[in-house]
Structure 1
Amino acid sequence: MRKKNTVTKPSKVVRAVQLGSTDTGHVIGQSLRKLREAAGVTPKQMGARLKLALSAIVGIEKDGDVPVRLLRRYVEALGATLSIEAKFPTSQSTADQFHLPFETLGDGNQLVFPIFGDDTPSTKDLVLSIHPQYTNKIMEGTKTVELRRRFPLTAAPGTVVYIYSTSPIRALVARAEIADVTKLPISQIWRKYSKPAVIKRADFDSYFNGLAEGFALHFANVQPLPRPLALSELRDRFGFQPPQSFHYASPMLKKALRDEFSSVSY
């Protein structure tokens, strides 16, 4: 019997106080207070949860000058998790300069590098945008290497990749695993990986134009999804935006893919 699709309601977002001055501590304190109030927790109850005096809670929310370990405890006491990210403007020069496991935000205007949090880049599932002429070859098994201008070298072997087939298909079509990520000079990438990447020389030169080095992603355990997930469904259910190159899969999307497609071996 086919499992009935269920729609997971998105988590409530509490807007933090925007940083408009140099008084960073004050802004953090106000944000913590807003978060506590949104959770329906009084300062006295917060003190009990953290085993701190009421005056300490008032001080934290007034000054916000707290170490990360206390900031994390405060957020977790409200049932949330703390993450800290560095955001850069989207530009190829930025990505190529740092070679970091950036996540492209949905609006495509920022690159995000996670600094602190439980869901580190090495444990995140990825979504890759690939042209249909290549996604078909990946699912057929004739293409075992995907070439990229940038990619996180920190992606551990076994990292799950969901393949988004671009226009005109516009759907998630397959799941694979990263067996290895190799960074090499462009000339070596052509010599070693042009055949398993199933790419023509003109397309290769056009794609890597202006770069000295690139990345080769080695795929393993490629499996088509039981049914393609069209972009319209992805947007309606998960607020999904196709990545320009790649981005990290949202927790909601990961859970749905694992629950609904349990027939796919994980």
Structure 2
Amino acid sequence: MSIKPQFVEEIVKGTKTFEFRKAVFKRPVSKVVVYASLPVGKVIGEFTVKKIHHGTPNEIWKATRLGSGITESYFNEYFEGKEKAFAIEIESFTPYEKEIPLKEFAPQLKAPPQSYCYLS
């Protein structure tokens, strides 16, 4: 899953316990590999999914704001015009010993995923 570096930092610190998405996985997912998008451009760790919450943006913000790691205005801008919102609840984050370039981690990928992709 591609995540902006400033949000990856909050996940690593434990202040961001929810990752917000406009769409989520179609298959069951229990672990998410975290790719910090540019300028970092590397795989930095993984997290275990506790639960995926869904509802209107207003419902999701009320339920997750304390672990959002973002401002309400950023949240509202992200979900502007959307009727559904998803929050992936992070149970535990495990950083890798070293950051791994994507081509080394998943050579089958031609480019970083725009949002996410499945790995086997």
- TM-score > 0.5, shorter chain as reference: yes
Is the partner of 1:210 in helix, strand or coil? coil
Counterpart of 2:118, as a letter, is Y
- In structure 2, what is the equivalent of residue 135 of structure 1? 8
Task: State the identity %.
Answer: 26
Count of aligned pairs between the two proteins = 120
- In structure 2, what is the equivalent of residue 147 of structure 1? 20
- In structure 2, what is the equivalent of residue 56 of structure 1? none
| Equivalent residue for 1:211, pick from 67, 71, 82 | 82
Work out which structure has the larger RCO, using CA pairs closer than 8 Å and 6 or more positions apart in sequence.
2
Q: What does residue range 40-51 of structure 1 map to in structure 2 within 5 Å? A: none
More strand by share: 2
Cα distance in 2 for residues equivalent to 1:140 and 1:240? 30
2:108 corresponds to 1:238: yes
Give the deviation of 1:194 after TM superposition: 2.0
Normalising by structure 2, report the TM-score: 0.89
2:52 corresponds to 1:178: no
- In structure 1, what is the equivalent of residue 95 of structure 2? 224
- In structure 1, what is the equivalent of residue 34 of structure 2? 163
RMSD: 1.8
More helix by share: 1
Cα distance in 1 for residues equivalent to 2:94 and 2:62? 28
Q: What does residue range 244-263 of structure 1 map to in structure 2 within 5 Å? A: 244-249=114-119, 251=120
Give the deviation of 1:234 after TM superposition: 4.5
Deviations 1:162-203 (A, max 9, x none): 001011101100111111111111111111112201111221
Q: Gaps spanning 5+ residues in structure 1: where? A: 1-127, 252-266
Give the deviation of 1:155 after TM superposition: 2.5
Runs of 4+ in 1 over 6 A off after TM superposition: none
Structure (1 or 2) with the larger CA radius of gyration? 1
Distance 1:155 1:232, change over 3 A: closer
